Amino acid sequence: MSHSDPLPTVRLRPKAEARAIRHGFPWVYGDELVTDRRTKAMTPGTIALLEDAERRPMGVVAVNPQSKLIARMLDSDPAAVIDQSWLAARLQTALDLRARLFDAPFYRLIHAEADGLPGVVIDRFGDAAVIQPNAAWAEHLIGPLSAALQEVTGVKTVVKNASGRARGLEGLDGEDETTLLAGALEGPVEVSMNGAIYMADLLGGQKTGLFYDQRPNHAFAARFAKGAKVLDVFSHVGGFGLAALAAGASEVTCIDGSQPALDLAAAGAKAMGQSALTLRKGDAFAQMEALAKEGATFDMVICDPPAFAPNRKALEAGLRAYERVARLAAPLVAPGGVLGLCSCSHAADLTKFRNASARGIGRGGRRAQMLHTGFAGPDHPQLPQLAESGYLKALFFRLNP
């Protein structure tokens, strides 16, 4: 869009928090914007100029009348032109940070609002990258975004993954599929992390194919792995389990409900030349109960379940589920062993999650000392104004005899 096409304008209501937005808050909620017929008629993803109640320009926003987040701040410069070169500049800033953090090009490249591209997630896998356009504006600009991504990073293969839960809230439900935007893929991609080899299925896997956010927590858990018997519950493609194998675990058992995920874990172990991996497919709760009946114990048990409390409505049920995980896992930990409990739920904050975990450990008949609280790695930066962006929590306990 050139300056010869003036942007449509949207305006804040007099009571809206203009100051918060000027100080970096990235969202405008539906009740903060003047929603006249013209605004309501805007196509989801329309780029517009945001004005305050006194009609002073505040910046360029993406508008979606169908979303509770009716506008997302893209640029506080009212003259900004949202095109491929603008996208490339944001990608370059993000790339500069990751290049300093990691010695190989395997990381989250764009973490939505915190990297200045609201609603966009991009994970990089060497010469390939996966884009999740979870906001309408990014769906519209997927062509320029993919082109800018190739231009800035040199990746040859770009995958679009349309499975993000947020898409439904944006009215983007229609196309829940994964498509190749550029290049080609021959099967899963090998990813080296913490000395382990993971297999990421970029076209058929969960989310973008691999969870980079747990990298520092895998590394912390690996410190206890040498010579240890390890249980990785809700293992997905073997996140904690393969890191433990790489660090010298004597044997690792992975439990997951997905056979394709377990197959990828097995392929990772094979690529590492490791054979001490046992796979158990099934419901994690039922499998933990079965292991208890067998009298099995482990030097380290890690539970990294899906988000049990993805939103506030699910919070109470989610906290009960986290408590149950801890209650079933605690008896499986050998005296003096380590229990790692993780939550990727936005709605369950650290205190609530920690309390639910501690209750579960107590109800499981164990006493614990808390060793470490882990979060997502620095390739998942947080916007200080958005507490919601700090979703991942990992708690490590030593369970005393």
Q: pLDDT tens digit string along 162-185?
A: 876 667 677 776 566 789 999 999
CATH topology of domain 84-182: Transcription Regulator spoIIAA (3.30.750)
Average pLDDT, the chain: 93
The Cα–Cα gap between 276 and 251 comes to: 5
Q: Which two tokens stand for residue 167?
A: 């898409």
Write the CA distances from 240 to 37, 279, 321, 337, 369, integer angstroms: 52, 13, 21, 16, 21
The Cα–Cα gap between 320 and 304 comes to: 15
- pLDDT per position as a tens digit, 262-302: 999 999 999 999 999 999 999 999 999 999 999 999 999 99
Its CATH architecture, for the domain 189-399, is: 3-Layer(aba) Sandwich (3.40)
Q: Which two tokens stand for residue 210?
A: 């691999």
- In CATH terms, the superfamily for domain 9-75 is PUA domain (2.30.130.10)
> What confidence score (pLDDT) does residue 2 get?
45
Mean pLDDT of 257-261: 93
60, 46 Cβ separation under 8 angstroms: no
Mean pLDDT of 136-142: 95
The Cα–Cα gap between 233 and 324 comes to: 13
> What confidence score (pLDDT) does residue 274 get?
93
The Cα–Cα gap between 3 and 92 comes to: 24
Pairing status of strand 189-193 against strand 196-200 = antiparallel
Q: Which of 300, 193, 196, 279 is nearest to 236 (CA)?
A: 279
Q: Which residue type occupies 311?
A: N
Q: Where are the chain's structural domains?
A: 9-75, 84-182, 189-399
> What confidence score (pLDDT) does residue 162 get?
85
